[in-house]
């Protein structure tokens, strides 16, 4: 899921064009009659939002508000920022965007605000300042660290389509009948959003979220902000810096999305990275066969996964109160593969063991990781998350509307990877969504940002980071080599990466050249217990501990399918 050098940067040639524009204006003014006066600057249509007074208050919403208590403990205060629902009608309906802030304590060397986005899309970020502040180490004292729940997310004005699931993603299954079931499923989800949230859906976009960030900047009384965005948050950062050139200072993007590939079908092409991650986990599990009983070799563990999938295809598996079928087993596997550490591997291995026992006819009470993942996928307990996630990706860029396009892609992908291909190529409610209300942003051609990515990232693949690095020659890329890890800075525990990012945040100077850091070895000893430490959530995926679990995420099971 960061920031720019301290001098404002525009698109190439911006300064020269501005100077020429001023010269031309001066020449034009000399030709005016003596009585003529230069035109007055147009009034700011967003003035009432830019100059609003924020009411900073306690972040604690009630006795059971763990996120608020954690923010309070870290010295944070919270506020609601009023923004227009529709920026083309700033005098119309308004909504609120919830923010939290831990203020700088080293005021003599204060840099300014650092705004956060943890990805998703649809991920809650208001609870993130405490752990980000800790990851920043000494340099954190020089920033106001600001968490933002984007429009319609978390504590901001809500959106909920009342879905019977927290995620629109499923596997297409093994045949045309399964695909047709998923088509009907996606049609139903799209219809529910039109029914319950149709009046706001046109305004649930990344471009409007970027506009909200700029209102927050102005309401904080700042000329520029620094920005840290993970995963989908990297795309939001790309959009913001393009729409508001000169309004950013230091920008770090971690888990980088290639904006030329951003679409509702962003998971396409990740099959190879997910297969690599699955194989890495399988080797880990094989070394712990006496603990998990999944097989003594990598091949045997992979065969166990295939056995579970085949059993669920024949008849749904019973796991507690849930029935897990050919559409959900591949999704459980996919969701277990975003973090490269012992604790995440252990959770996933326990989940596979539970599904294996169910496949073999045993009555199973699922482990906490699997129980939470299944509750998220198979009930409406977190309908809000899936609703907002789809509203954003469907509202940004149109998806193909013909189901046959998806069926052909699934059939081709199935040949390459029968497990992941039907997940990453399946259709979603975006196939049945209304067209976007505005064109997507054409991302600027250069930006001196710091990019961070792991070579084995199964969500935002490394190719995306290298593509942005080529597009932005002034940027620098920090590569974590040899890790199948989604989100790195402050998450994975790579001192080389964290030190590089913190040096940039401290000085505003990018490294002289790209930086490559080595992954820490995953515990290779047999049958070692997982750490037992709680893991923070980035984009809803569990991550290695730095501080406490991430803010207000409603799940810790890695169930958030997108970034």
pLDDT band at 522 (very low <50, low <70, confident <90, very high): low
pLDDT at 550 over 70: no
In the block, which residue shows the tokens 């967003």? 46
pLDDT in tens, 54-73: 999 999 999 999 999 999 99
CA distance 503 to 187: 49
Q: Which tokens sit at 421?
A: 């291909």
Q: Which of 457, 484, 498, 539 is catalytic?
A: 457
User: Does 46 have pLDDT greater than 60?
Assistant: yes
β-pair partners for 226? 114
pLDDT of residue 20: 29
How far lies 82's CA from each of 48, 85, 112, 150, 212, in Å?
9, 9, 21, 12, 9
Q: Which of 190, 111, 172 is nearest to 145 (CA)?
A: 111
DSSP 115-143: EEE--TTT---TT-HHHHHHHTGGGGGGE
More confident residue, 41 or 97: 97
What is the sign, positive or negative, of the torsion defined by CA atoms of 236, 131, 334, 522? positive
541 is catalytic: no
Distance from C-alpha of 65 to C-alpha of 185, rounded to nearest angstrom: 34
Percent of the chain with pLDDT over 90: 84
pLDDT exceeds cutoff 60 at 493: yes
Summarised one tens digit per residue, pLDDT across range 97-155 is 999 999 999 999 999 999 999 999 999 999 999 999 999 999 999 999 999 999 999 99
User: Could you give the CA distance from residue 349 to residue 401 in angstroms, rounded to a whole number?
Assistant: 37
Distance CA(151)–CA(440), nearest Å, equals 18
Predicted confidence at residue 42, as pLDDT, reads 78
Give the tens place of pLDDT for each residue, 82-99. 999 999 999 999 999 999
Spatial neighbors of 324 by CB under 8 A, at least 6 apart, are 312, 316, 317, 318, 332, 355, 358, 374, 378
> Would residue 231 show up in a list of annotated catalytic residues for this protein?
yes
In 3D space, the residue among 202, 205, 266, 274 whose CA is nearest the CA of residue 240 turns out to be 205
Quick: pLDDT tens for 257-298: 999 999 999 999 999 999 999 999 999 999 999 999 999 999
pLDDT of residue 39: 59
Specify the pLDDT at position 34.
41
Which of 247, 322, 486, 541 is labelled catalytic? Answer: 486
Of 231, 367, 475, 557, the catalytic one is 231
457 is catalytic: yes
In the prediction, which pLDDT does 520 show?
Answer: 79
Kindly report, residue by residue over 296-330, the tens digit of the pLDDT.
Answer: 999 999 999 999 999 999 999 999 999 999 999 99
The tens digit of pLDDT for each residue in 328-357 reads 999 999 999 999 999 999 999 999 999 999
- Alpha carbon distance 516, 465 (integer Å): 13
Q: Tell me the longest C-alpha to C-alpha distance in the chain.
A: 94
Q: What is the C-alpha to C-alpha distance for residues 382 and 405, in angstroms, rounded to an integer?
A: 30
Buried b (16+ CB within 10 A) or exposed e, 327-341: bbbbbbbbbbbbbbb
């Amino acid at each position: 899921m960061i920031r720019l050098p301290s001098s404002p940067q525009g698109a190439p040639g911006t300064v020269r064009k501005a100077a020429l524009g001023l010269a031309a204006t001066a020449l034009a003014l000399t030709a005016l009659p003596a009585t003529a006066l230069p035109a007055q600057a147009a009034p700011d249509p967003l003035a009432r939002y830019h100059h609003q007074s924020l009411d900073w208050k306690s972040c604690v919403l009630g006795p059971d508000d763990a996120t608020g208590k954690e923010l309070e403990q870290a010295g944070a205060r919270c506020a609601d920022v009023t923004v227009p629902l529709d920026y083309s009608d700033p005098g119309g309906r308004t909504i609120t965007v919830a923010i939290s802030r831990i203020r700088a304590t080293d005021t003599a060397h204060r840099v300014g605000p650092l705004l956060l986005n943890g990805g998703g899309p649809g991920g809650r970020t208001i609870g993130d300042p405490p752990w980000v502040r800790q990851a920043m180490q000494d340099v954190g004292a020089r920033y106001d660290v600001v968490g933002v729940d984007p429009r319609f997310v978390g504590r901001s004005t809500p959106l909920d389509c009342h879905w019977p699931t927290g995620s629109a993603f499923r596997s297409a299954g093994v045949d045309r009948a399964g695909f047709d079931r998923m088509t009907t499923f996606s049609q139903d989800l799209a219809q529910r959003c039109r029914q319950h949230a149709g009046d706001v859906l046109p305004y649930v976009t990344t471009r409007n979220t970027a506009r909200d960030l700029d209102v927050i900047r102005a309401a904080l009384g700042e000329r520029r902000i620094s920005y840290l965005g993970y995963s989908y948050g990297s795309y939001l950062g790309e959009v913001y810096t393009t729409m508001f050139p000169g309004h950013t200072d230091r920008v770090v993007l971690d888990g980088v999305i290639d904006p030329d590939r951003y679409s509702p079908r962003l998971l396409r092409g990740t099959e190879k990275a997910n297969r690599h991650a699955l194989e890495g986990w399988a080797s880990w599990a094989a070394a712990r066969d006496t603990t998990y009983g999944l097989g003594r070799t990598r091949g045997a563990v992979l065969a166990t996964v295939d056995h579970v999938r085949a059993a669920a295809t024949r008849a749904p598996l019973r796991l507690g109160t849930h029935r897990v079928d050919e559409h959900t087993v591949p999704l459980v596997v996919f969701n277990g593969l975003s973090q490269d550490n012992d604790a995440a591997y252990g959770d996933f291995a326990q989940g596979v063991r539970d599904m294996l026992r169910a496949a073999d006819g045993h009555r199973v009470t699922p482990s906490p990781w699997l129980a939470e993942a299944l509750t998220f996928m198979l009930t409406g307990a977190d309908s809000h998350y899936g609703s907002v996630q789809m509203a954003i990706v469907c509202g940004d860029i149109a998806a193909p509307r013909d189901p046959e396009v998806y069926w052909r892609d699934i059939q081709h992908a199935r040949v390459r990877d029968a497990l992941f291909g039907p997940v990453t190529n399946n259709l979603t409610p975006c196939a049945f969504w209304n067209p976007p209300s505005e064109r997507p942003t054409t991302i600027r051609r250069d930006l001196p940002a710091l990019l961070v990515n792991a070579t084995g990232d199964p969500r935002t693949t490394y190719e995306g980071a290298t593509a942005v690095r080529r597009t932005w020659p002034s940027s620098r890329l920090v590569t974590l080599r040899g890790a199948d890890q989604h989100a790195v800075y402050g998450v994975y525990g790579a001192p080389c990466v964290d030190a590089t990012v913190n040096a940039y945040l401290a000085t505003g100077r990018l490294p002289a050249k790209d930086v490559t850091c080595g992954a820490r070895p995953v515990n290779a000893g047999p049958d070692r217990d997982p750490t037992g430490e709680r893991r923070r959530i980035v984009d809803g995926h569990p991550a290695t501990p730095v501080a406490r679990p991430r803010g207000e995420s409603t799940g810790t099971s890695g169930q958030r399918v997108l970034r």
